[in-house]
Structure 1
């Protein structure tokens, strides 16, 4: 009988088989599992960082293509527009006095902007009477009747004329009569273009429920501007059908048609849900406001072309100047006031 059969099988020595692991303690197994988990977590983080980096690169590339084509930082413009819109919306719905104060300040800033651009082209524009006239017109529009508004406008124009004549008399710089007359005419244009048109929004806002009319026309104008921009990018590539090439080469008929369609849709929704008007009146509301907004945009483009500038200023990232954002709103406010008198009686 062999020793193996007598004493039973000989236990194997773990060390004798290098392929077989030795006994692993609980601590070692936990440490190994933790290491695997940390490794997987690090891999997941690395993959996430790569995806975020790729998305950011695509985002920046898209923004650069849009900026190269339109000259605007689209995403900065959206951010500024959202913040400004929410602030004005809150003031309009919950504190009309704050809205009035903000409107006066914005109109005054636009007057400063336009005056600075005109002075850069050699026009003598006196800022003090411009700002006094702006405040007088807009305050009269909210707190007083229409005859007072016309009186305030007359006061503003008279103040601008007298101030310029007296300033020129004291200057004694040999400026010729034709230049002085041009200075006066251009100076009188500023309060008619900015505060008088802007005052229409305050006339709307002061009545019961007027805040909804102001909000309604602003919605249509914003939708019109955004739709024109998007439609021009999608369908008007290469400027295939320019709307007004001698005034604004970037605008296309494709953009205008897109604005017209979406403006009509926005007008119907505003009429039904905000103003209590028949749906068909919303089409009139939207289409007329799109036309006013487009003309206002082209009008300001004409002014900028005459002044030789791309933007009135660079105070608003992605937008340019304050007047660059008010260009379509100013005439639309006056048109909305007219629509209020014609369509308002249809409200249920």
Structure 2
């Protein structure tokens, strides 16, 4: 039995109990249950060179170490130890409900949007450079992420193939883009074959996935802007549709979300949020395409709804990929967003879909 146990010294049937040490107690006054502990933790009086001259000499309570009274003593009922504050109280939470730094996420999102808008309105061919740089960064992030499962797709031929595919899509169209894809996969496979057949067998699936998923899909944005009369509006309508889908889904999910959509892939997505995404994108794209391109309203509604559906599917596809890789974000390149691929996930599926839909609703 411990010397600090208040039951020490009481009569009991246990002959091995140790009597408690004598503690002076003034009759008529209640004993302080913490007095003995404080006396046992007191430091003997000695000259302290760090003590100010006006401080009284004598024992000083121990303030450091695992036996500090302020750390180990329980808080008396109905009282709070002076100077203690409950964890998290009074502290501003800088992160949103989505777990992101919301001010940084908004600033980065607006900056990326302004870059695309400036390229479209000032000089549309500049979008070719924006797409090539974005695809190259996306390839770099995905190659790094694949290292978490032991895959080593070669970065150099994939980056070179990304630039080639973007240029072929801009100048020649879909057929040339497809040939560029095959050439990129072949070049990366030969590069890895130099390390042996086992290395090629291990990395060929990752090579094909990266080449198709990032530069091939994103290169359709270069073909969207090719028509000189309304190419900029086609890209703008696609980007606005994706933004409205994300915004509408977030707002509806926060205020109305109750039924999970894909809890094992993306726990925060709900069917109510999905309905908000489709509604916001359909209405916004119908108005935008009608005023900018004279597209009939019913076609605009169809366009916006389809863009929203594939944008959500693209988001879920990347969430599933990251879950398989065991990572949260593709990188930490963008504050509040993670990596660039975490922003491009919805765009990747949206641009080829928009290219096909515009070929139907607004042929050249």
**Length-normalised TM-score, structure 1:** 0.75
**2: CA distance, partners of 1:295 / 1:217:** 15
Q: CA RMSD in A?
A: 1.6
Q: Of 112, 126, 136, which aligns to 1:84?
A: 112
Asked if residue 146 in structure 1 is aligned to residue 174 in structure 2, the reply is: yes
Which of 201, 204, 207 matches 1:187?
A: 207
Q: What is the CA distance between 1:207 and its match in structure 2?
A: 1.3
Name the structure 1 match of 2:329.
Answer: 311
* Aligned equivalent of 1:323: 341
Q: Which gives a bigger RCO, structure 1 or 2 (Cα 8 Å, sep 6+)?
A: 1
- Shift of residue 62, structure 1, vs aligned partner: 6.6
Q: Confirm or deny that 1:284 pairs with 2:302.
A: yes
User: Is the contact between residue 73 and residue 318 of structure 1 (CA under 8 Å) also seen in structure 2?
Assistant: yes
> How many residues end up aligned between the 2 structures?
273
Q: Does 1:266 pair with 2:284?
A: yes
1:214 is matched with: 235
Matched, 1:108 2:136: yes
- Per the TM alignment, residue 63 of structure 1 is displaced from its structure 2 partner at its CA by 4.3
Equivalents in 1 of 2:239, 2:310: separation in Å? 12
Q: Which aligned segments of 4 or more residues in structure 1 are displaced greater than 2 angstroms?
A: 60-64
Compared CA separation, residues 180 and 145, structure 1 to 2 (3 A): closer
Q: Which runs of 5+ in 1 are unaligned?
A: 1-59, 170-176
Deviation at 1:162, TM superposition (A): 0.9
- Structure with higher helix content: 1
8 Å CA contact 1:108, 1:131 repeated in 2:
yes
| Alignment partners' CA distance in 1, 2:330 and 2:289 | 34
Can you list the C-alpha shifts for 1:186-228, whole angstroms capped at 9, x where unaligned? 1111010011101111001111211110100100100101111
Contact 2:238 2:354 in 1 (8 A): yes
Return the alpha-carbon distance in structure 2 between the equivalents of residues 336 and 182 of structure 1: 34
| Deviation at residue 235 of structure 1 after TM alignment | 1.4
Counterpart in the other structure of 2:160? 132
* Alignment match of 2:264 (pick from 246, 265, 273): 246
Task: Kindly indicate whether residue 147 of structure 2 is the aligned counterpart of residue 119 of structure 1.
Answer: yes
State the alpha-carbon separation in 1 of the partners of residues 255 and 189 from structure 2.
48
Tell me if structure 2 keeps the 8 A contact 1:216–1:274: no
**Among 285, 290, 293, which residue is 1:275 paired with?**
293
Would the aligned equivalents of 1:160 and 1:188 in 2 still touch at CA under 8 Å?
A: no
Check 1:102–1:201 CA distance in 2 against 1; reply closer, same or farther (3 A cut).
same
- Return the offset for 1:167: 2.7
